[in-house]
């Protein structure tokens, strides 16, 4: 006499398990340092005429992403404060939740504001201060009336300086590492990403 479960039982159990697990919202990650044709530097470059790609791989900052972030300083001319690039695959029209991962400033004097654009839609992300490591900011809603074929990043207001490194820039600065766009406009935090 053989006791056991049939193949059909196991198949049904596996199907039940996968169908009962709630699906996570789909999302897209964008490395900020890959928006635009940014020059890479291993240090702060306050003479840069706008956004540049700065090495950000110190362990005290959490060393996320690919080891670089997009950086800009308050002394950059107005013409260099926005970067953009076309998207390989357009983002469909709809409501989304947008998150930024940033570091600093640790010595804020006012709010920092970065404007993220997806096609014609824009969303301002505002923060006062963060820890001395890359941190996800609370998400903001962005609504696309039409599919977006491009992404942009604009430095609107420089809130302060300080990142907890051995050397600090003299000017107010903004460092943005990653942008996460969630298909769920109610998502509370991005999934883990390294």
Q: What share of the chain is helix, strand, coil (3-state, %, to 5)?
A: 10, 40, 45
CATH topology of domain 25-182: Jelly Rolls (2.60.120)
Supply the pLDDT for residue 62: 56
pLDDT grade, residue 1 (50/70/90)?
Answer: very low
Distance separating alpha carbons of residues 56 and 178, to the nearest angstrom: 12
CA proximity to 54, closest of 46, 64, 44, 66:
44
Q: Where are the domains of the chain?
A: 25-182
The model's pTM: 0.82
pLDDT > 60? residue 16: no
Distance separating alpha carbons of residues 52 and 118, to the nearest angstrom: 20
pLDDT > 70? residue 23: no
Report the number of secondary-structure helices (H) and strands (E) in the chain: 1, 14
pLDDT grade, residue 191 (50/70/90)?
Answer: confident
Distance separating alpha carbons of residues 134 and 32, to the nearest angstrom: 13
C-alpha radius of gyration, the chain, whole number: 21
Mean pLDDT of 133-137: 86
Alpha helices in the chain (DSSP H): 7-20
> pLDDT digit string (tens) for 26-70?
799 999 999 988 999 988 899 999 999 988 776 555 555 457 889
């Amino acid at each position: 006499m053989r006791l056991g479960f049939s193949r059909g039982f196991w198949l049904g159990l596996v199907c039940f398990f996968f169908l009962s697990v709630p699906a996570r919202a789909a999302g897209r990650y964008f490395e900020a340092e890959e928006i635009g044709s940014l020059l890479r530097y291993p240090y702060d470059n306050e003479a840069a005429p706008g956004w540049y790609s700065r090495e950000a791989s110190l362990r005290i900052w959490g060393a996320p992403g690919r080891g670089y972030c997009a950086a800009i300083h308050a002394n950059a001319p107005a013409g260099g404060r926005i970067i953009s690039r076309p998207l390989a695959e357009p983002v469909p029209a709809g409501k989304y939740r947008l998150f930024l991962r940033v570091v600093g400033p640790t010595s804020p004097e006012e709010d920092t504001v970065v404007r993220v654009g997806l096609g014609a839609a824009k969303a301002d992300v505002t923060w006062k201060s963060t820890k001395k490591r890359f941190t996800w900011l609370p998400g903001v809603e962005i609504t696309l009336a039409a599919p977006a074929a491009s992404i942009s990043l604009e430095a609107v207001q420089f809130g302060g300086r300080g990142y907890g490194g051995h050397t600090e820039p003299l000017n107010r600065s903004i460092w943005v590492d990653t942008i996460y766009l969630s298909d769920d406009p109610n998502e509370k935090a991005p999934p883990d990403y390294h």
